[in-house]
Amino acid sequence: MRSVEEQQALVTASAVAPNPVRVSIQDALGLMCAEEVETTMPLPGFDQAAIDGFAVRAVDVKCAPAAGDPQGSSVVLPVVGDVTAGSRLHTRLQPDQTVRVFTGAALPALADAVVPLAWTDNGETRVAINRRVNPGDFVRRVGDDVTPGDIAVHAGTIVGPAQVGLLAAVGRDKVLVHPRPRVAIISVGNELVDLDRTPGQGQVYDVASYALTAAALDAGAEVHRVGIVSTEPRAFRELVETQLLRSEIVIIAGAVGGIASEHVRNVLTDLGEVEVERVAMHPGSVQGFGLLGADQIPTFLVPSNAVSALLVFELMVRPMIRIALGKRHPLRRIIRARTITPVTSMKGRAGYLRAQLMRDEATGEYLVQALAGANPSTSHLLASLSEANALIVVPPDVTEVRTGEEVDVLFLAQRR
């Protein structure tokens, strides 16, 4: 039986980023930049006011009081114009004059500072300036942010809101990125029906493919839910070959255990090597992984039970997606927490038991409560998984954790 860590290492070694594509900057959010974006123009492109106020030559207000100096008298200057942001008028400031300016407005020629409104009497034709400024005060100089030749966004950077803003600021409407990995999700099983039908005797809804689709989307992938397919060998092979051509990852739910899984594995052996292995974890112990097709596409075989399928996804598939996206930390955060309920686990297998993680407001200590379904005999129950925001991780050699003991907790995304 392979350990969880061994299986994770095997899987993540096959993770690759899709070939880069050029997309609009508004579609690049969350993706990894695949080029060095070099700026061709300065930012700002002109000297501009950093605040609403009055543009001056600093030498003309040097007699005004300094900050914190009660001595000295105001300097009064004539106001010879207004310059708003976006104005294309070329204004030139003469000695002992001032121009009212607004944030982002181009600074008049010869002006080298801006006096904030709060430091004046806000006069209209003549203004009293109550505090001196130095050259460069409250001015955004040409190239203060970036200059031509600077790298605005480096290759390997995850594009966030700030990077999108900077790309727009330097005039880039498209950028080369590593796209979201494409994930295809297939379900097999004679007992399955889709949501547009009413299950008959012995039939159940195809829950796993919907849950896995949501999980893959949440991880950052582009997902194609194929749904329930026939395992007739020729039709199934053609379908899988099609998905291998259009995907970076393929997941087949219901492909471990049962007659359907035998048909699946018989077909897949012609497309590559898939190994079905028992991994020392519960739930989701039985799972398969291999590289299929000419492009050696990572393919996962997971149980049809949604809880088991989601756990296999969480531990094996999600890290691969996050690596493909260029994330530096593909695994979920693990923290230590004190149990407020007892926990039981299966001997010889690492337990991943659904739980509610909380924090004591008084002490700041993390506390964790096992939920119904954490017991190995009820690990298939889906309702309690939907309430969980964490998984208690119990080592393979531990079968019981008493109330008050500390455990590792895998923190899932907060939904509330």
Instruction: Give pLDDT tens digits for 173-217.
Output: 999 998 999 999 999 988 889 998 988 998 899 999 999 999 999
The answer to whether the bond into 283 is cis (omega within 30° of 0) is yes
pLDDT at 379 exceeding the cut of 80: no
What does the block give as tokens for 307?
């809880």
Between CA 376 and CA 265 the distance in angstroms is 28
- Three-state DSSP class for residue 387: helix
Q: Are 54 and 101 in contact (CB under 8 A)?
A: yes
Task: Write the pLDDT tens digit of every residue in 283-342.
Answer: 999 999 999 999 999 999 999 899 999 999 999 999 999 998 888 788 898 999 999 999
pLDDT at 345 exceeding the cut of 70: yes
Residue 149 backbone zone (phi > 0: left; psi -120 to 50: alpha; other: beta) = left
Long-range contacts for 372-380 (Cβ within 8 Å, ≥24 apart)?
A: 373/307, 374/343, 374/344, 375/344, 376/282, 376/344, 376/345, 376/346, 376/351, 379/282, 379/283, 379/307, 379/308, 379/353, 380/283, 380/305, 380/307, 380/308
* Span 384-409, average pLDDT: 91
Q: Are 304 and 158 in contact (CB under 8 A)?
A: no
Q: Are 336 and 410 in contact (CB under 8 A)?
A: no
- The separation between CA 166 and the C-alpha centre of its own chain, rounded to angstroms, equals 18
Check residue 121 and give its pLDDT. Answer: 93
Task: Write the pLDDT tens digit of every residue in 210-252.
Answer: 999 999 999 999 999 999 998 889 999 999 999 999 999 999 9
Listed by start position, the domains of the chain span 4-18+180-325, 21-43+144-178, 48-140, 334-411
Check residue 416 and give its pLDDT. Answer: 46
**What percentage of residues in the chain have a pLDDT greater than 70?**
94
Between CA 336 and CA 410 the distance in angstroms is 9
Q: Which CATH superfamily is domain 4-18+180-325 in?
A: MoaB/Mog-like domain (3.40.980.10)
Between CA 120 and CA 345 the distance in angstroms is 72
Task: Write the pLDDT tens digit of every residue in 141-175.
Answer: 988 888 888 898 999 899 999 999 999 988 899 99
Contacts of 110 (CB under 8 A, 6+ apart): 57, 92, 93, 94
- Residue that has been written with the tokens 């803003």 in this structure: 165
Query: DSSP secondary structure string, 49-95?
Result: ESSSEEEE-GGGGTTSPPTT---S--EEEEEEEEE-TT-----BPPT
228 residue type, one letter: I
CA proximity to 392, closest of 328, 346, 361, 360: 346
Tell me the backbone φ, ψ of residue 26, rounded to 5 degrees.
-75, -15
Between CA 320 and CA 80 the distance in angstroms is 64
For 334-411, give the CATH class: mainly beta
Task: Write the pLDDT tens digit of every residue in 73-125.
Answer: 889 999 999 999 888 878 889 999 999 999 999 999 999 999 999 999 999 89
Third-level CATH fold of 21-43+144-178: Molybdopterin biosynthesis moea protein, domain 2 (3.90.105)
pTM summary value: 0.76
Between CA 133 and CA 49 the distance in angstroms is 14
Q: Are 85 and 102 in contact (CB under 8 A)?
A: yes
Between CA 52 and CA 248 the distance in angstroms is 53
Please give the CATH number for the structural domain made up of 48-140.
2.170.190.11
